[in-house]
Amino acid sequence: MIYQPLQASPRMPRTLRILLENALRHHTAADVLRNWVPGATGEIEVFPSRVFLHDTNGVPVLADLASMRDALAEFGGDPAGLDPVIPAELVVDHSVIADVFGRPDALERNVELEYHRNAERYRFLRWGQQAFDRLKIVPPGSGIMHQVNLEKLARVVEIRDGVAFPDLCLGTDSHTTMVNGLGVLGWGIGGIEAEAAMLGQSVSMLIPPVVGVRLTGLLPAGTTATDLVLTITERLRAHGVVGKFVEFFGPALAELPVADRATIANMSPEFGSTVAWFPIDEQTLTYLRFTGRPAEHVDLVEDYAKEQGLWHDSTTELTFDEELTVDLADVVPSIAGPNRPYQRIPLTEVPTTKAPTDELRDGSVVVAAITSCTNTSNPSVMVAAGLLAKKAVERGLATQPWVKTTLSPGSRVVMEYYDAAGLTPYLNKLGFHLAGFGCMTCIGASGGLADGVAEVVRAKDLSVAAVLSGNRNFESRIQPDVRQNYLASPPLVVAYALAGRMDLDLQADPLGVDDDGRPVHLRDLWPSRNEIEEVIRTALRPEMFTEVYADVFAGDDRWRNLPAPVGDTFAWEDESTYLRRPPYLENPAQPGDLKGARALVRLGDSVTTDHLSPAGAIPADSVAGMYLRELGVRELNTYASRRGNHLVMMRGAFANLRLRNALVDVEGGFTTKDGELLTIYDAAEAYRADGTPVVVVAGKDYGIGSSRDWAAKGPALLGVRAVLAQSFERIHRSNLVGMGVLPLEFAAGEGDDLTGEEPIDITLGEDGFALVRSAGRSYRMRMRLDTPREVEYYRHGGVLPYVLARLRGEALPHLERNE
């Protein structure tokens, strides 16, 4: 085995050892890492071994690459010369919607609808599969990207050209960190960065502070991995880990299986860290063997990890920038909500105000979804849900009629072991029929509510709830009519479906009564750890993984029979409402001072990328909806499905129904210009016509949530030149720079008094700061261009113009434009 010896301090965090290996192998400046001490700073370059995408981010990435090929052809170059230089894997998992539920044919009907709605996008993906040599696509219905990565695609250690090195995976979804549970260093990046990485550009970053989290103790009986992850999410969000690496260690790892580690690592974006990495150890090897990885590869992983100091040795004391301890014994049953993943609530403290009747009312649970990669990757909590359903059915309980119940696992293996254990019929009896293999409810593809429920909710202006086993619960994300959203373990999702309401104490109040009129409590249904482990031992087999993933890139007959365009360039259709040639290379933004800029919106703290660019259904009365209806489109579909059409997506910028813009007194996508209430899109177009530059003013944690390129692309296309915020979430700040939008950060304690109601002047300095003046006040704001590479991106008007300029300048030095 050939590999790059590290010769680093044995006390160096293992995550930084992986970055050091990357620097040495790619001959970049490695001394800043080799000589690392706590508090070390400096810029590093990271070259991923592969890029990982899903379809709703992948389609825009592919569209951007196709437009770059067009641009090369227009300058007389060879479009086929633009091709990924590293493997790129795309999983189609974000487009299926839970339209049909609670019936045996739900899966088949939802897949039919998925193909009907997305055939044009899928044909485009098929074109990309034949046009780009290193692009592989996992077709619809195969599972959620992160679970497919964990169970099949992740290498842990790569071998290319006889050289072994760590699998370093960067993905266009913030939950790419889930693979950290397997010892793979990976994190979420924007699609714009992903395009550059695919074309051979490094990802430039500052050395991250590393927070060591020591795990001790054992989970108490009656708690789950979900309870642990909600506890860790609360702790680390409070500690402050944005922009940092989190590296787990400690005695609890010996008994913590990869499934639990992956559940924790998946939530890294929710507590704000760049990664949440677990070291390689015996649990890693056990998981690799169990999921059908070849024995020789498992041996390679072990040998390489031990040679390079990546193996978890409890006797080796590592040095971190910061350190804290989480005792698993302190974990209690919990949920999180109503609108942030880190709002943990112990089950005993869930509000329990009683109402006199059981009719639909405030606090009613109208969505109960076992969904998302976070928990459906974990057999222990999935089996617990199935066993709880079995016991509930045997006691004669049923879900409440107003609750929409769905089961959408992240892996086809889940249904294999449910069937083998005989648990599927009980879940079906409670309405948890298989609705699809995809993200679904967790990304807002939850479909409509049960018959008549939405009408009552709207008529009475009710504040109803969703309970899901996912990772995101932001306002208006899960379902437009649902204001309260709670994250919970799969068995608690079943329990709340039985109860039909949030306002009860699950520890004390009965979920219902059995056929004999006796009260049935949660404790009567909760399976023991021995029961769960026995089902896993007898029903879950390694052959299930090898069989499910035997031909993962082939797809079913629907996929294979889709007519796909061929050729090196794509033939754009002007009448298409799904795919249009992106405009980012036509007139890139020019950096410079701004005079008399106006705030398009003035936002508060913790504005999410869902607020900036929704992913759910396109409302008929929205700007995007009316635009599509004017074109004769009857089925509006979702914003996520139309990310390949900038004319729709720019109209969807800031279109979240729960957006709160301080410049106006109404919720939603509205603002004011010259005293007139306008949609944000119309105001932006009016400012554009006036020649007035526009900016965004915001509070803390601007851009938390999904790594959604359109949260930067949409505002950029509306003319936003800068975002003035008190702090930024990592991926979104990078996406802004990638679109040529300048992130400006207030000094600590400043910014609340900038109302956005007066003109704003911005003067850029040479020292990395800008002087901002408005209404007689001035602010010295930091330009968040964190590395020299980001400065270059901004100067070129974004990543794509920068990369294209390099391609033209280096590969095509003497070409003139063909008119």
Reported as a pLDDT band with limits 50, 70 and 90, residue 510 is: very high
pLDDT at 616 over 90: no
| Mean pLDDT of the region 462-488 | 89
CB contact at 8 A, 271 and 232: yes
Q: What is the DSSP string of 333-386?
A: -EEE-SS-TT-EEEGGGS-----SS-SS-TTBEEEEEEESHHHHT-HHHHHHHH
Q: How far apart are CA 232 and CA 209, in angstroms?
A: 18
Which of helix, strand or coil describes residue 547? helix
User: In this predicted structure, what is the pLDDT of residue 352?
Assistant: 63
Tokens of 479: 């379902």
- The mean of the pLDDT values for the chain is 93
Reported as a pLDDT band with limits 50, 70 and 90, residue 686 is: very high
Q: Where are the alpha helices (DSSP H) in 566-721?
A: 609-612, 623-630, 646-649, 680-690, 710-717
Residues 68-111: pLDDT tens digits? 999 989 888 889 989 999 999 999 998 899 999 999 999 999 99
The dihedrals phi and psi of 197, each to the nearest 5 degrees, come to -65, -40
| Beta-bridge partners for 460 | none
Reported as a pLDDT band with limits 50, 70 and 90, residue 470 is: confident
Percent of the chain with pLDDT strictly greater than 90: 80
Residues 346-401: pLDDT tens digits? 998 987 655 445 889 999 999 999 998 888 999 999 999 999 999 999 999 999 99
**Residue 417 or residue 443, greater confidence:** 417
Q: How far apart are CA 470 and CA 226, in angstroms?
A: 10
CA distances to 74, 263, 652, 663 from 666, in Å: 47, 38, 17, 9
Nearest in space to 582 (alpha carbons), one of 739, 736, 465? 739
Q: How far apart are CA 279 and CA 283, in angstroms?
A: 10
How do beta strands 88-91 and 135-138 pair? parallel
Residue 674: CB atoms within 10 Å: 9
| Mean pLDDT of the region 547-566 | 92
CA distances to 102, 338, 401, 465, 505 from 501, in Å: 19, 14, 12, 8, 10
User: In this predicted structure, what is the pLDDT of residue 357?
Assistant: 54
Structure-derived torsion over alpha carbons of residues 563, 569, 571, 576, reported in degrees to the nearest 10: 90
Q: Of 16-25, 399-408, 631-640, 764-773, which gets the smallest average pLDDT?
A: 631-640
pLDDT at 814 over 60: no
| Mean pLDDT of the region 314-330 | 94
- Tell me the CB-side half-sphere exposure of residue 104, using CA atoms within 13 A: 2
Q: Of 29-33, 240-244, 790-794, which gets the smallest average pLDDT?
A: 29-33
pLDDT at 653 over 50: yes
User: In this predicted structure, what is the pLDDT of residue 356?
Assistant: 46
| Mean pLDDT of the region 32-43 | 91
HEC string for 206-233: ECCCEEEEEEECCCCCCCCHHHHHHHHH
Reported as a pLDDT band with limits 50, 70 and 90, residue 812 is: very low
Q: How far apart are CA 325 and CA 311, in angstroms?
A: 21
> Which residues are CB-neighbours of 349 under 8 A, at least 6 positions away?
none
Label residue 686 left, alpha or beta by phi (over 0 means left) and psi (-120 to 50 means alpha).
Answer: alpha
Residues 568-611: pLDDT tens digits? 999 999 999 999 999 988 888 889 999 999 999 999 999 999 99
CA distances to 226, 270, 334, 588 from 141, in Å: 25, 26, 31, 38
| Mean pLDDT of the region 679-692 | 97
Tokens of 658: 């729960």
Q: How far apart are CA 198 and CA 188, in angstroms?
A: 14
CB contact at 8 A, 122 and 559: yes
Tokens of 385: 């849900």
Q: How far apart are CA 644 and CA 625, in angstroms?
A: 16
pLDDT at 815 over 60: no
| Mean pLDDT of the region 41-45 | 90
Residues 421-464: pLDDT tens digits? 999 999 999 999 999 999 888 888 889 999 999 999 999 999 99
Percent of the chain with pLDDT strictly greater than 70: 98
Residues 794-803: pLDDT tens digits? 999 999 899 8
| Beta-bridge partners for 171 | 52, 188
| Beta-bridge partners for 434 | 407
pLDDT at 819 over 50: no
CB contact at 8 A, 77 and 812: yes
User: In this predicted structure, what is the pLDDT of residue 31?
Assistant: 87
Strands of 404-408's sheet in order across: 344-346, 334-336, 484-487, 465-468, 365-371, 404-408
User: In this predicted structure, what is the pLDDT of residue 782?
Assistant: 98
Which of helix, strand or coil describes residue 519? strand
| Mean pLDDT of the region 752-763 | 97
User: In this predicted structure, what is the pLDDT of residue 201?
Assistant: 87
Number of H helices and number of E strands within the chain?
A: 29, 30
The dihedrals phi and psi of 212, each to the nearest 5 degrees, come to -85, 125
Q: How far apart are CA 247 and CA 112, in angstroms?
A: 43
Tokens of 115: 């193909």
Residue 774: its H or E element: strand 769-774
Name the residue with tokens 């299930």.
544
| Mean pLDDT of the region 499-512 | 93
| Mean pLDDT of the region 215-219 | 96
Tokens of 789: 């590479």
Q: How far apart are CA 491 and CA 433, in angstroms?
A: 15
| Mean pLDDT of the region 129-153 | 95
Residue type, 402: W
Q: What is the pTM of this model?
A: 0.89
Q: What domains does the chain contain, in order, with CATH numbers?
A: 14-329 (3.30.499.10), 338-526 (3.30.499.10), 594-797 (3.20.19.10)
**Residue 313 or residue 429, greater confidence:** 429
User: In this predicted structure, what is the pLDDT of residue 441?
Assistant: 85
Q: Of 61-70, 528-537, 680-689, 701-710, which gets the smallest average pLDDT?
A: 701-710
Residue 476: CB atoms within 10 Å: 23
**Chain centroid to CA 779: how far?**
34
Peptide bond into 338 cis (omega under 30): yes
244 by Cβ neighbours in 10 Å (0-12 / 13-18 / 19+) ranks as: buried
